[in-house]
Chains A and B, each alone.
Chain A
Amino acid sequence: MFKFISVISSILLSLFSLHIQAAELSVDVIDMAGLPVENAVVYAEPDIKVALPQTAAIIEQRGKQFNPLVSVIQTGADVTFPNFDSVRHHVYSFSPAKTFELKLYSGVPTSPIKFDKAGTVVLGCNIHDTMVAFIQVVDTPYFTKSNKLGKAVLRDLPNGGYTLKVWHYALAKEKEVVEKKLLVKESQPVVMQFSLKPFIIPARK
């Protein structure tokens, strides 16, 4: 049984407080109706490329669901897919950013998957159609996700010029990332606006 959530309105993203000094960028993500948007990936790419630590991430399968729904990782990071269900899963991705598959397995796979290309990766399970998860691979160490209140906070940003980007799986134009150039000196708010397309996504519990 499928369950769908339909998002049919456009989302207004607004950045309204930037704190350069504290090197902290606080971003509020809301839709067009002014309602907060959860699970939006918010990241800032510095104009001057910096060497960045690669962190690892874990996307677990529990109760025939991927968890978390949305992950954001830095390019080159490894992701492990531990299976906590009693049934086996067949995790795959046909996304151009990273195409892979983990054929039927249980427990923790032997090796993690390395995501070395920026972009959006959509994860699915070949056995269970309802399982879906998104990984946004970004080329910056400054990234986060909006919470249920639509709030996202980027911390410890050195002063300088950045391109602030916001991605959501329900974006009207899938490959377009809402972005805004800004100069970080102290904390400041940023407002950005773009439309979304109708989107069908399997229901989550």
Chain B
Amino acid sequence: MKLPFKSLQSRIVFLFLSLILVVQFFGFVAIWVSINTNARVAITEQLGVGEQVLRTVINRRGENLALSASILAADYGFRQAIASNDKETILSALENSGARIESDVNMLYSPDGLRQVVSGQLPETITDATILKLIETTQVGGESFNIAVFRGVPYLLVAVPVRAPLTIAWIITGFEIDDTWAARIQDVSRLEVSFVTKIIADHSASIKPKWNLSSSTMSKLSGQESISGIPNQWLQQATDTQSTVNQVFDNEISIQGRDYSSRYVELLNEGDQVLVAVLQRSISESLAPYFTLQLNLLVLTILGAFVFIAGSVLTAKRITKPLTELVNTAELLEKGDYSKPIVSNSTDEIGHLSRTFDRMREAVAEREQKISKLAYWDELTQLPNRAFFTDQLVKFSENYQENNQTFSVLMMDLDRFKHVNDVLGHSAADQLLAGVAERLKQSCKSELDVVARLGGDEFGIILANTHSQLALDVANRLQIALATPVALNDSFVDLSAGVGVANYPEHAKDIEVLLSRAEIAMYAAKNSSGSVAVYHSGLDVGNEENLSLVSEIKQAVEQNQLCLYVQPKIDFATGKLLAVEALVRWNHPERGLIFPDMFIPFAEQTGHIDKISYWMLTEAARYAAIWQKQGLDIPLAVNLSARDLIDMELPNKLKQILDVHQLLAHSISLEITESSIMDDPERALDTVQRIAKMGIQLSIDDFGTGYSSLAYLKRLPVNELKIDRSFVMNIERDQSDVTIVKSTIELGHNLGLKVVAEGIENQKVWDILKLMGCDYGQGYFMSKPMAADKLIDWTTQWAAAPAI
């Protein structure tokens, strides 16, 4: 059998319940059948008893009649009255006797069958013929009582002879069989009793005889086919047979919707005179006492069913609860949650299953931990890897959606790692990475922070619950942590790194974008003199505004939208103009003048920087030629990028440019930063040395911001150091800056280099630097950068009235 239940529990409950219901149902049916059978047997017995009661009542009353009449007949005075034909006395004696037993008929007949005296209201229907027959029967059979029907009314009659000593008269006395009889019999037998007579209006067979209910305990309903609900056909059947006496038969009939067991007792069937007594017992009444029994049974059945349901539910629960728990645990396992143990103390199969399942859970959890560790772990640094880092970023971003907690991403790339790798070997490089990882971990105190190795020498940090300034603080802390050299194979290696910071959701709401912006910031940090940079849109090529600039840079060069600006370098000793630094401005057709900060980084990233550098060199050469013709012979210093330095053709290009304008090498000088060399020091050094050999002067720009080794500086064929403006600007307030600048000047002089200070903004700074022995100065105090065209005018003006 296939049950429409999905759960084991409902199947068990259904099975148990079905069984109990089936058992109860058959029990119920069996009891019902038995009750019905017993009730019908009881009814039949009752009907039998009822019939006995009926006959007994008839006999009793008949005997009463006979006794009463006999007493009268024996009375001497009564006989005397008859002998003397004293009718008045006879009548009163009859009345008196009749009153004693309340008989309905009291008459006196002569021996030769003549009606002599009639007492009371004799039913007119009583015929002499019937009486004479009764007398004759009595004469032949002795004292007896007879039933007679007169026009549908049944009577019980008795004839008693009056003897003196021969019969001198007959006393006829009788009762009408009326409702009191029916009631009396019902009292004793508890049956419904009806007396039905037949009235034959016409003897022809065509007219059906009419049945008449003479008395009954039932409500008297006359119908065409039935009488008080008793169908004529049964009455007919009760009297049809030719059997003479006391035919009895039973059947069941329905009267007004109630079933009755009926017994038909034929009391008289002689010619026109027919009397049938119908005894009836309501089956439903007989069954009524059993209904209580059945009701109790039903209640017991229902209670039993409930008990069974409860029991089977409990049983089913006991079976299925551990299963459900196993299912739940399995679902958790499916989701990857291995934390919930399955506890089962039961010793049965399910307990065994549970324990086996739990061992499986532990084994799977252990294996998955191993696998995920492999997938998310970097063995070298004992840090999570990029995959883990990205997952964590997703979680952090989800956490932001829920709890509005911001976070920052720091991305760090070691400077010169390739160099370390090349010089000290892979093993040392690995040790270096592990050391860096250790420092990073120590720098990030918060449990929530995530430090990961993203690949190569690149590390990523997620700072939880932070904001821009905090992130910057951490970044600076990292720098400090890295400042201590790392000991490798008995030697110390200086570390530096570019750190890029991007904040979520301030800088990006998308994890990918956030990462790429942290990276952009990182590269910006590495490119600029600073080692930490927070992302801003200006850094980003991907930024829409910048993107258009990037695409327009090439155009700008080709369409000559760039213009050359210059800023003078003044000799501290003489106050005279000694040289100018060539700077670039973009005269954008729509946006106006754009400063180099806005587009040089992109030019570097996109590879257009060589075009700009070439343009600058060419333009500087052109002006140098113009100014020389006007009598101003000063060098123009052009900045070169790291990319320019690895261009092997650069010396040739320079030579060509100088040749075009018929210039000597000293007319152009070049400024390079420490970091631009460090990207590929070998090639850069090679290029620089070739340029130096051409006689072109070189400067180290932004000196002091990089962490370049003095060993490199020593090897560089430079003529000049440019102290970064960040040291100069605060020199009047910051003693450490004074020390740095002073030391740098001394260092430069000791190496035989000229020292230039940038960012001089007032007289005081000028004076301090002059005192320190700085060679040249550059800054707003003397002159802002100006268009190259205006330099001639400026020199005239400066010569006339120098600001210093």
Write the nearest CB–CB distance from A107 to chain B, whole angstroms: 22
Residue in contact with B163 in the complex, picked from A99, A124, A198, CB distance below 8 Å? A124
Name the B residues within 8 Å of A2 (CB-CB). 142
The complex places the Cα of A2 from the Cα of B142 at a distance, in Å, of 9
- Cβ-based interface call for A25 (8 A): no
Q: Interface digits, B157-182 against A, CB 8 Å rule (1 contact, 0 not)?
A: 00001011111100000000000000
Name the B residues within 8 Å of A92 (CB-CB). 76, 164
Q: Interface digits, A96-111 against B, CB 8 Å rule (1 contact, 0 not)?
A: 0001000000000000
Name the B residues within 8 Å of A85 (CB-CB). none
- Cβ-based interface call for A113 (8 A): no
Instruction: Identify the closest chain A residue to B73 (Cβ).
Output: A129
A-B pairs with CB below 8 Å: how many?
A: 35
The complex places the Cα of A122 from the Cα of B168 at a distance, in Å, of 11
Write the nearest CB–CB distance from A27 to chain B, whole angstroms: 25
Q: Is the CB–CB distance between B83 and A129 below 8 Å?
A: no
Name the A residues within 8 Å of B83 (CB-CB). 94, 99
Residue in contact with A132 in the complex, picked from B142, B161, B165, CB distance below 8 Å? B165
- Cβ-based interface call for B8 (8 A): no
Write the nearest CB–CB distance from A31 to chain B, whole angstroms: 20
Instruction: Identify the closest chain B residue to A99 (Cβ).
Output: B83
Q: Determine which residue in B84, B142, B165, B168 has the highest number of CB atoms from chain A within 10 A of its CB, and name it.
A: B165
Q: Interface digits, A112-156 against B, CB 8 Å rule (1 contact, 0 not)?
A: 000000000011111001111000000000000000000000000
Name the A residues within 8 Å of B161 (CB-CB). 200
- Cβ-based interface call for B139 (8 A): yes
Q: Is the CB–CB distance between B165 and A131 below 8 Å?
A: yes
Instruction: Identify the closest chain A residue to B167 (Cβ).
Output: A200
- Cβ-based interface call for A202 (8 A): yes
**A122-B164, A122-B165, A122-B166 known; A94 vs B74 contact (CB < 8 Å):** no
**A99-B83, A129-B74, A200-B139 known; A94 vs B167 contact (CB < 8 Å):** no
- Cβ-based interface call for A190 (8 A): no
Residue in contact with B76 in the complex, picked from A123, A126, A202, CB distance below 8 Å? A126
The complex places the Cα of A68 from the Cα of B168 at a distance, in Å, of 22
The complex places the Cα of A201 from the Cα of B142 at a distance, in Å, of 13
The complex places the Cα of A126 from the Cα of B73 at a distance, in Å, of 12
Instruction: Identify the closest chain A residue to B143 (Cβ).
Output: A2
The complex places the Cα of A131 from the Cα of B76 at a distance, in Å, of 15
Q: Is the CB–CB distance between B79 and A94 below 8 Å?
A: yes
Instruction: Identify the closest chain B residue to A2 (Cβ).
Output: B142
Name the A residues within 8 Å of B164 (CB-CB). 92, 94, 122, 124
The complex places the Cα of A124 from the Cα of B166 at a distance, in Å, of 8
Q: Is the CB–CB distance between B167 and A129 below 8 Å?
A: no
Q: Is the CB–CB distance between A129 and B165 below 8 Å?
A: yes
**A94-B79, A126-B76 known; A202 vs B139 contact (CB < 8 Å):** no
If over half of B's interface residues share one DSSP class (helix, strand or loop), that class is named, otherwise mixed; here it is: mixed
Q: Is the CB–CB distance between A201 and B74 below 8 Å?
A: no
Residue in contact with B165 in the complex, picked from A99, A124, A198, CB distance below 8 Å? A124
Q: Is the CB–CB distance between B165 and A125 below 8 Å?
A: yes
Name the B residues within 8 Å of A94 (CB-CB). 79-80, 82-84, 164, 168
Q: Interface digits, B62-87 against A, CB 8 Å rule (1 contact, 0 not)?
A: 00000000000010100110111000
Name the B residues within 8 Å of A99 (CB-CB). 83
The complex places the Cα of A164 from the Cα of B83 at a distance, in Å, of 30
Instruction: Identify the closest chain B residue to A66 (Cβ).
Output: B165
The complex places the Cα of A201 from the Cα of B80 at a distance, in Å, of 20
The complex places the Cα of A19 from the Cα of B589 at a distance, in Å, of 203
The complex places the Cα of A99 from the Cα of B83 at a distance, in Å, of 9
Q: Is the CB–CB distance between B165 and A202 below 8 Å?
A: yes
The complex places the Cα of A2 from the Cα of B84 at a distance, in Å, of 26
Name the A residues within 8 Å of B80 (CB-CB). 94
**A94-B79, A94-B80, A99-B83 known; A132 vs B166 contact (CB < 8 Å):** yes
Name the B residues within 8 Å of A129 (CB-CB). 74, 163, 165
Write the nearest CB–CB distance from A197 to chain B, whole angstroms: 9
Name the B residues within 8 Å of A130 (CB-CB). 165
Name the A residues within 8 Å of B74 (CB-CB). 129
Q: Is the CB–CB distance between B166 and A201 below 8 Å?
A: yes
The complex places the Cα of A84 from the Cα of B74 at a distance, in Å, of 24
Instruction: Identify the closest chain A residue to B139 (Cβ).
Output: A200
The complex places the Cα of A146 from the Cα of B168 at a distance, in Å, of 27
Name the B residues within 8 Å of A122 (CB-CB). 164-166
Instruction: Identify the closest chain A residue to B112 (Cβ).
Output: A197
Q: Determine which residue in A92, A94, A123, A201 has the highest number of CB atoms from chain B within 10 A of its CB, and name it.
A: A94
Write the nearest CB–CB distance from B9 to chain A, whole angstroms: 90
Write the nearest CB–CB distance from A4 to chain B, whole angstroms: 8
Write the nearest CB–CB distance from A59 to chain B, whole angstroms: 14
Write the nearest CB–CB distance from A100 to chain B, whole angstroms: 12
Instruction: Identify the closest chain A residue to B163 (Cβ).
Output: A129
The complex places the Cα of A92 from the Cα of B168 at a distance, in Å, of 14
Q: Interface digits, A70-105 against B, CB 8 Å rule (1 contact, 0 not)?
A: 000000000000000000000010100001000000
Name the B residues within 8 Å of A201 (CB-CB). 166
Name the B residues within 8 Å of A202 (CB-CB). 165
The complex places the Cα of A125 from the Cα of B168 at a distance, in Å, of 15
The complex places the Cα of A2 from the Cα of B163 at a distance, in Å, of 12
The complex places the Cα of A198 from the Cα of B165 at a distance, in Å, of 16
The complex places the Cα of A92 from the Cα of B76 at a distance, in Å, of 10
Name the A residues within 8 Å of B167 (CB-CB). 200
The complex places the Cα of A201 from the Cα of B161 at a distance, in Å, of 12
Write the nearest CB–CB distance from B111 to chain A, whole angstroms: 9
Instruction: Identify the closest chain B residue to A169 (Cβ).
Output: B166
Name the A residues within 8 Å of B142 (CB-CB). 2
Residues in B72-127 with C-beta less than 8 Å from chain A: 74, 76, 79-80, 82-84
The complex places the Cα of A201 from the Cα of B165 at a distance, in Å, of 9
Instruction: Identify the closest chain A residue to B80 (Cβ).
Output: A94
Write the nearest CB–CB distance from A92 to chain B, whole angstroms: 8
The complex places the Cα of A129 from the Cα of B84 at a distance, in Å, of 19
The complex places the Cα of A122 from the Cα of B166 at a distance, in Å, of 8
The complex places the Cα of A122 from the Cα of B163 at a distance, in Å, of 11
Write the nearest CB–CB distance from B282 to chain A, whole angstroms: 47
Write the nearest CB–CB distance from A135 to chain B, whole angstroms: 13
Instruction: Identify the closest chain B residue to A134 (Cβ).
Output: B166
The complex places the Cα of A94 from the Cα of B166 at a distance, in Å, of 10
Write the nearest CB–CB distance from B167 to chain A, whole angstroms: 6
The complex places the Cα of A202 from the Cα of B165 at a distance, in Å, of 9
The complex places the Cα of A94 from the Cα of B84 at a distance, in Å, of 8
Write the nearest CB–CB distance from B72 to chain A, whole angstroms: 14
The complex places the Cα of A161 from the Cα of B163 at a distance, in Å, of 40
Write the nearest CB–CB distance from B56 to chain A, whole angstroms: 25
Write the nearest CB–CB distance from B67 to chain A, whole angstroms: 15
Name the A residues within 8 Å of B79 (CB-CB). 94
Instruction: Identify the closest chain B residue to A94 (Cβ).
Output: B83
Write the nearest CB–CB distance from B132 to chain A, whole angstroms: 13
Q: Determine which residue in A99, A124, A125 has the highest number of CB atoms from chain B within 10 A of its CB, and name it.
A: A124
Name the A residues within 8 Å of B166 (CB-CB). 122, 124, 132, 200-201
Instruction: Identify the closest chain B residue to A95 (Cβ).
Output: B83
Name the B residues within 8 Å of A123 (CB-CB). 165
Q: Interface digits, B122-155 against A, CB 8 Å rule (1 contact, 0 not)?
A: 0000000000000000010010000000000000
The complex places the Cα of A22 from the Cα of B167 at a distance, in Å, of 43
Instruction: Identify the closest chain A residue to B81 (Cβ).
Output: A94
The complex places the Cα of A115 from the Cα of B187 at a distance, in Å, of 61
Name the B residues within 8 Å of A200 (CB-CB). 139, 161, 166-167
Write the nearest CB–CB distance from A116 to chain B, whole angstroms: 19
Q: Which 4 A-B pairs have the closest CB atoms?
A: A94-B83, A124-B165, A132-B165, A94-B164
Q: A99-B83, A129-B165, A200-B139 are in contact. List 19 more A-B contacts (CB 8 A).
A: A92-B76, A92-B164, A94-B80, A94-B82, A94-B83, A94-B84, A94-B164, A122-B166, A123-B165, A124-B165, A124-B166, A125-B165, A129-B163, A130-B165, A131-B165, A132-B165, A198-B139, A200-B166, A200-B167
A-B contact pairs, 25 of them (CB 8 A): A92-B76, A94-B79, A94-B80, A94-B82, A94-B164, A94-B168, A99-B83, A122-B164, A122-B165, A123-B165, A124-B163, A124-B164, A124-B165, A124-B166, A125-B165, A126-B76, A129-B74, A129-B163, A132-B166, A198-B139, A200-B139, A200-B166, A200-B167, A201-B166, A202-B165
